Structure 1
Amino acid sequence: MSRLVVVSNRVATPTETKGSAGGLAVGVFGALKDSGGVWFGWSGDVVSETVANQGPSLEQDGAVTFATVGLPKKDYDQYYRGFSNAMLWPVFHYRNDLAVYDRDEYAGYRRVNSWLAHKLIKLLQPDDVIWVHDYHLIPFAEALRSEGITNRIGFFLHIPFPSPQILLNIPPHEELVRSLCCYDVVGFQTEGDQIAFHDYIVRHAHGKATSDGQVEAFGRKLKTGVYRIGVFPDEIAEQAERGEARQDVMDLKQSLEGRKLIMSVDRLDYSKGLVERFRAFEHFLEKSPEWRGNVTLVQIAPPTRSDVETYQQIRQNLEYEAGRINGRFSGLDYTPIRYLNQRYDRWKLMSLFRESQIGLVTPLRDGMNLVAKEYVAAQNPDDPGVLVLSQFAGAAGELSGAVMVNPHDVVGMSDALARSLAMPLAERQQRYEANMAALRKYDLGVWRDNFLADLRDVRRK
């Protein structure tokens, strides 16, 4: 079997791949171990130009080589903070109002992609299969092709792909789609994302797109497909059950003093609908006074992109809302919202999910949302909690047992909380079983293997 080369903006460390990292790192590392190969990308370090211009740092773990490079400050600002996260991220999440376009940042985005591609070429073998991940690296295949690389190259988008009318807000939208067409396989999380891409190809690129995923545009032929990223549900269940007896989890249970627990875990990001979620919980306590003092919302929101002004504002808004709501409903022995702006080990989160009665996952827009799937997998089958899920998460297309909500509807989310807390055991079990069947049908291995099978089937040019 040919080697696999994985390219991502950030590379998980060998230690993280042993279980502390999220599902993507675990799944990708599994594929790399099977075929042998390279995981290449940014180390996360901002370094001097001199250090950046050295060769990739290499670390071996069995048949897998971890190859990382640092970014100079200018490249970090333009490629990562700039075009990737100030333009692509908000537009792809339908937040054009937050998008900031700067031509120099776009030039830096393309320059860094070309620079990274040049670094990788020195590590490539003629028969390697290359799998590129996410919006930071849209031009990566184009950069490789310009240097004569003819290997099979696939791309998977982990975030939503916007409808053409939204995408047109990015001034170089045509260049970006042209770059995507340099891949052999382009994968999306949902049918809606694939349709949006096909719609752009037909209406704005004057190309062709067929129902079986074949696309012709910009002088290229490629395959598109829907590959729903998943989790390994049984592993999560074991992890959650093992952690139940650990001291941190026992301390939380004791501090709740018999109160019901609602768990939410999100990166601190405007796409996650955090303020709307807090206001829905406030409305619930307002309209259901019998639950005051009897239910606690734990919101874990690890900081992300803390050097970006928009994210600093989100944190301030969320802290204000938590303080305001707690000021209304707290008692001497009761705090309705526990807002934790810090990271927790994955095993601990899974165990906390298992202890809770509701998993509240309400993004305004999300490619998939693995937290929703992890919440379901972590539940006790004999007494499962209820997943309350945004209809705008990609996972909503699979998890039919969730209580679906519109995250813009504060009253609707409040009603869903009331319904879920009062839900009979038999209904909770039925919903849990339906969700678990979906998780097992499309687990992380299926996602990985289906994409790579399609990529390996591509005829070499």
Structure 2
Amino acid sequence: MQRAGLEQRRLVVAANRGPVSFHCDPSGEPVVTRGPGGLVTVLTEVLRSHPGVWVAAAQSDEERRLAARRRAVEVELDGTAYRLRYVAVEPHVYHKYYSIVANPMLWFIQHYLWDLGRHPDIGANELDAWHHGYLPVNERFARAVVEEVRRGPDGRQRRGRAARGGDAVVMLHDYHLYRVAPLVRAACPDAFLHQFVHIPWPQSDYWRVLPRHIRTAIFEGVLANDVLAFHTRSYVRNFLRCCEDLLDLPVDMAAGTVRVGEREVWVRAYPVSIDPDSLRRAAASRRARAAERELLAHRREHLLLRVDRLDLSKNIIRGFVALDRFLELHPEFRERFTFLALLQPSRQDVEEYVTYRERVERVVADVNTRHGTTDWMPIDLRIQDDFPVTLAAYQHYDVLLVNAISDGMNLVAKEGPVLNRRHGVLVLSEHAGAYEELGAFALGVNPFNIEQQADALFKALTMPAEERRARAEMLRRVVEGNSVAKWVEAQFADIALKLAGG
């Protein structure tokens, strides 16, 4: 990929969370650990490819102390060096921004999760959270980004023409920061602004759930960028149609552009992927091998697997209901398999997530009671964040179930096939972003169709060996052919092209 003109440009990346977490151990000594989530992995690749500074919200007391410096700090973890600029946010303001507006309001809108006959109720609490949580946090992010754009080699703030940001590329990430771009553009009009939305973009009617002033602010916010990026072509199409339907803006569907005054915004799809080599190294680690030995010691004939955050969008309950139906239809499989469900706790400060976790646990108990025996339970539910166990399970599953209601991409659908050694079958939701790339070689399912999912489990377990092998090899080939490094290069290539007037 060509990057002419980018080599000398300063890079500022902004995301809600940073690549590492700072906290203090019981003795008061600072401790640095890797930050959670797949976004850390892909943004690390961005900064490895083009060094820069990462702006993130301070989450801990130690990070808030670092934020008070109002400049980047340098840290190294696992051989990777980062320059981090933390944004200080009072806990009650962060709660409004993150736990009311970002989640659940925006997350549920963008994943089609609201039961519109009953929810949401957008009242004084939600409007207050928008005005006194989401907007102020975005303003603080914007100020930090502007300061980093304007910071000279001597650490001082540049003035005059240099302060306009003509030597900077700003890459904003995800739905937490929809109002940052216009503020940065106003302060640094010559900076190149790029934003990647890592979750689905719904159709225009669903955006009408939000009050007009909020949805207009969101659209005008992201349209302040030079390039707006999504994971799939369908999300690009949805966004462009929203611009027509909701804002009456001129759109070129074929070219993937929106005209905003004198500016042309490019809207592009870059399907994110993984780093296969890094994943294989992790799977060969001492902890992963120990987890593998433990897994194999208790393995039955078949291993069914799901790996997810404990999130409503992942459709976990319907997956268990489909397993229940599978056992009703095919009792001959009783005691021959284990369905290992590795679920990472998520957003336990949000009421909807607490309730969902309770429902998941009840459904698992019901299925296990209905079908289990004295020495076998069909579902092995583990609510934990244990990556070595996940790596071990990836290598030995016979069926990997990814039945999300809606998903920006879903990297589990890519990680599993790369590591699997048993020609495991991927059962993949048609509504997951990964389906555009992998659907031809997976067993596609409608996430709401219980009968189809139950049937897919049966087909996967009884599929002829040669078909399993062929599908598994093609899945692996597709994923390895589009690595996270290529994902980064494609974005930088388009940035360079647009800067060159392309």
* TM-score interval for Structure 1 and Structure 2 normalised by the shorter chain: over 0.9
Equivalent residue for 1:372? 413
Aligned partners of 1:243 and 1:385: how far apart in 2?
A: 24
Aligned partners of 1:198 and 1:40: how far apart in 2?
A: 29
Q: Does 1:354 align with 2:372?
A: no
Q: Relative to structure 1, is the Cα distance of residues 19 and 79 closer, same or farther in structure 2, using a 3 angstrom cutoff?
A: closer
* Residue deviations 1:388-446 (CA, integer Å, cap 9, x gap): 11110010111121111111111111111111011122101110122122212322112
Aligned partners of 2:470 and 2:180: how far apart in 1?
A: 45
Aligned partners of 1:397 and 1:244: how far apart in 2?
A: 34
Equivalent residue for 1:6? 13
For 1:91, which of 85, 109, 112 is the aligned residue? 109
Please give the root-mean-square deviation of Cα atoms over the aligned residues, in Å: 2.6
Alpha-carbon contact 1:263-1:356 (below 8 Å) kept: yes
The one-letter amino acid paired with 1:240 is: A
Aligned partners of 1:110 and 1:244: how far apart in 2?
A: 43
Aligned partners of 1:372 and 1:166: how far apart in 2?
A: 27
Secondary structure at 1:71 match in 2? coil
Equivalent residue for 2:90? 72
Aligned partners of 2:497 and 2:311: how far apart in 1?
A: 38
Aligned partners of 1:398 and 1:109: how far apart in 2?
A: 34
Equivalent residue for 1:391? 430
Equivalent residue for 1:110? 135
Aligned partners of 1:411 and 1:63: how far apart in 2?
A: 49
Alpha-carbon contact 1:46-1:72 (below 8 Å) kept: no
Query: Which stretch has the larger CA shift, 334-343 or 200-209?
Result: 200-209
**Once the 2 structures are TM-superposed, how far is the Cα of residue 459 of structure 1 from its aligned partner?**
3.3
Secondary structure at 2:89 match in 1? strand
Alpha-carbon contact 2:443-2:456 (below 8 Å) kept: yes
Alpha-carbon contact 1:227-1:450 (below 8 Å) kept: yes
**Once the 2 structures are TM-superposed, how far is the Cα of residue 13 of structure 1 from its aligned partner?**
1.3
For 1:301, which of 338, 343, 355 is the aligned residue? 343
The one-letter amino acid paired with 2:53 is: V
For 1:212, which of 232, 236, 255 is the aligned residue? 255
Q: How does 1:254-269 map to 2 (within 5 A)?
A: 254-256=297-299, 258-269=300-311
Equivalent residue for 2:100? 82
**Once the 2 structures are TM-superposed, how far is the Cα of residue 46 of structure 1 from its aligned partner?**
6.8
The one-letter amino acid paired with 2:376 is: Y
**Once the 2 structures are TM-superposed, how far is the Cα of residue 50 of structure 1 from its aligned partner?**
9.1
Identity of aligned residues (%): 29
Aligned partners of 1:43 and 1:249: how far apart in 2?
A: 36
Q: Relative to structure 1, is the Cα distance of residues 206 and 219 closer, same or farther in structure 2, using a 3 angstrom cutoff?
A: farther
Equivalent residue for 2:325? 283
Alpha-carbon contact 1:215-1:224 (below 8 Å) kept: yes
The one-letter amino acid paired with 2:141 is: L
- Structure 1 unaligned residues grouped into runs of 5+: none
Q: Relative to structure 1, is the Cα distance of residues 100 and 156 closer, same or farther in structure 2, using a 3 angstrom cutoff?
A: farther
**Once the 2 structures are TM-superposed, how far is the Cα of residue 344 of structure 1 from its aligned partner?**
0.8
Equivalent residue for 2:358? 316
Equivalent residue for 1:236? 279
Query: Which stretch has the larger CA shift, 73-82 or 90-99?
Result: 90-99
Alpha-carbon contact 2:113-2:312 (below 8 Å) kept: no
Aligned partners of 1:49 and 1:433: how far apart in 2?
A: 47
Normalised to the residue count of structure 1, the TM-score between the two structures is 0.92
Normalised to the residue count of structure 2, the TM-score between the two structures is 0.85
Q: Relative to structure 1, is the Cα distance of residues 100 and 221 closer, same or farther in structure 2, using a 3 angstrom cutoff?
A: farther
Aligned partners of 2:176 and 2:208: how far apart in 1?
A: 18
Equivalent residue for 2:172? 132
Equivalent residue for 2:202? 162
Q: Relative to structure 1, is the Cα distance of residues 243 and 417 closer, same or farther in structure 2, using a 3 angstrom cutoff?
A: farther
Q: Does 1:40 align with 2:55?
A: yes
For 2:476, which of 433, 436, 452 is the aligned residue? 436
Q: Relative to structure 1, is the Cα distance of residues 314 and 267 closer, same or farther in structure 2, using a 3 angstrom cutoff?
A: same
Secondary structure at 2:109 match in 1? helix
The one-letter amino acid paired with 1:278 is: F
Aligned partners of 2:149 and 2:401: how far apart in 1?
A: 44
